[in-house]
């Protein structure tokens, strides 16, 4: 029987998903001793795990080379795609927020001058400010977005905020929340038709484990 192939976002979401699988009794020993391998079996569960970057998880699931995927809601919001988003896995919680220099929030929302927003997430940023009928100039940053307002490049930033410690340590503050984020389970549309029973069983077991953990 062909294993169900699940793409996991490398890093913290990978570790949290492996912990979830282990709570279901799956043998994830090969995932703990993976070395440089990127495709690893979980034979007792009939699964095959693919380790990938967040945006690539969506690509692999959308194109059908992976049946399922675990990816942050932030990546889904930024890149979109054609797939089923079935489950909020409850871990990897953080938020998108608008932030800038302390005490300068009003400057962002007043005046007629076009404001400049620095971000790693231009699509999320564009959609958010369009919803506020604000015309903004977006500058894409790959590294530490917090630098942009400090260097005078941007009036504010849109970024992922977990504790807010990095903002505070650099004299910045959250102006406004954009969206709550957590890890999501996604499924290829064709795979859901071909392997519906097996995929729904995996989903229901994962959801039951999440509910049990939440009740503890």
Give me the CATH number covering residue 174.
3.40.190.10
How confident is the model at residue 17, as a pLDDT?
Answer: 96
In a shared domain, residues 52 and 103: no
Distance in angstroms (rounded) separating the CA atoms of residues 135 and 126: 9
In a shared domain, residues 45 and 110: no
How confident is the model at residue 111, as a pLDDT?
Answer: 86
215 pLDDT more than 90: no
How confident is the model at residue 112, as a pLDDT?
Answer: 86
The 10s digit of each residue's pLDDT in 176-214 is 999 999 999 999 999 999 999 999 999 999 999 999 877
Nearest alpha-carbon partner for 42 in 69, 14, 22: 22
How confident is the model at residue 213, as a pLDDT?
Answer: 78
120 pLDDT more than 90: yes
In a shared domain, residues 46 and 121: no
Are the CB atoms for 137 and 193 separated by under 8 Å?
A: no
In a shared domain, residues 98 and 88: no
In a shared domain, residues 82 and 186: yes
38 pLDDT more than 80: yes
In a shared domain, residues 175 and 187: no
Question: Number of structural domains, the chain?
Answer: 2
How confident is the model at residue 80, as a pLDDT?
Answer: 92
Q: What is the rounded radius of gyration, in angstroms, for the C-alpha atoms of the chain?
A: 20
In a shared domain, residues 88 and 186: yes
How many CB atoms are closer than 10 A to CB 179? 13
In a shared domain, residues 192 and 88: yes
Least confident range from 31-35, 72-76, 81-85, 157-161: namely: 31-35
Nearest alpha-carbon partner for 50 in 2, 90, 92, 10: 10
Of the chain, the percentage scoring pLDDT greater than 70 comes to: 99
- Host domain of residue 123: 94-179
Of the chain, the percentage scoring pLDDT greater than 90 comes to: 91
Mean residue pLDDT of the chain comes to: 95
In a shared domain, residues 41 and 52: yes
In a shared domain, residues 87 and 21: yes
pTM over 0.75: yes
In a shared domain, residues 82 and 112: no
- Confidence at 119, pLDDT banded by 50, 70, 90: very high
In a shared domain, residues 21 and 73: yes
Tokens of 36: 């440089």
What is the helix (H) or strand (E) element at residue 5, kind and residue range? strand 4-9
82 pLDDT more than 70: yes
């Amino acid at each position: 029987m062909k294993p169900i192939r699940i793409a996991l976002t490398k890093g913290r979401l990978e570790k949290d998903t492996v912990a979830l699988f282990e709570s279901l009794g799956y043998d994830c020993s090969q995932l703990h001793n993976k070395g440089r391998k990127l495709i690893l079996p979980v034979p007792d569960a009939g699964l095959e795990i693919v380790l990938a970057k967040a945006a690539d998880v969506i690509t692999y699931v959308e194109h059908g080379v992976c049946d399922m995927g675990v990816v942050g809601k932030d990546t889904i919001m930024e890149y979109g795609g054609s797939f089923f988003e079935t489950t909020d896995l409850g871990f990897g919680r953080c938020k998108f927020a608008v932030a800038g220099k302390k005490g300068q929030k009003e400057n962002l929302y007043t005046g007629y001058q076009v404001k400049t927003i620095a971000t790693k997430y231009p699509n999320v940023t564009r959609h958010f400010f369009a919803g506020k009928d604000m015309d903004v100039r977006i500058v894409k940053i790959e590294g530490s977005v917090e630098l942009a307002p400090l260097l005078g490049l941007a009036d504010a930033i849109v970024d992922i905020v977990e504790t807010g410690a990095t903002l505070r340590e650099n004299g910045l503050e959250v102006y406004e929340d954009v969206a709550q984020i957590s890890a999501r389970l996604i499924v290829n549309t064709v795979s859901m038709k071909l392997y519906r029973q097996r995929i729904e069983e995996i989903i229901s077991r994962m959801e039951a484990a999440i509910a049990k953990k939440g009740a503890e």
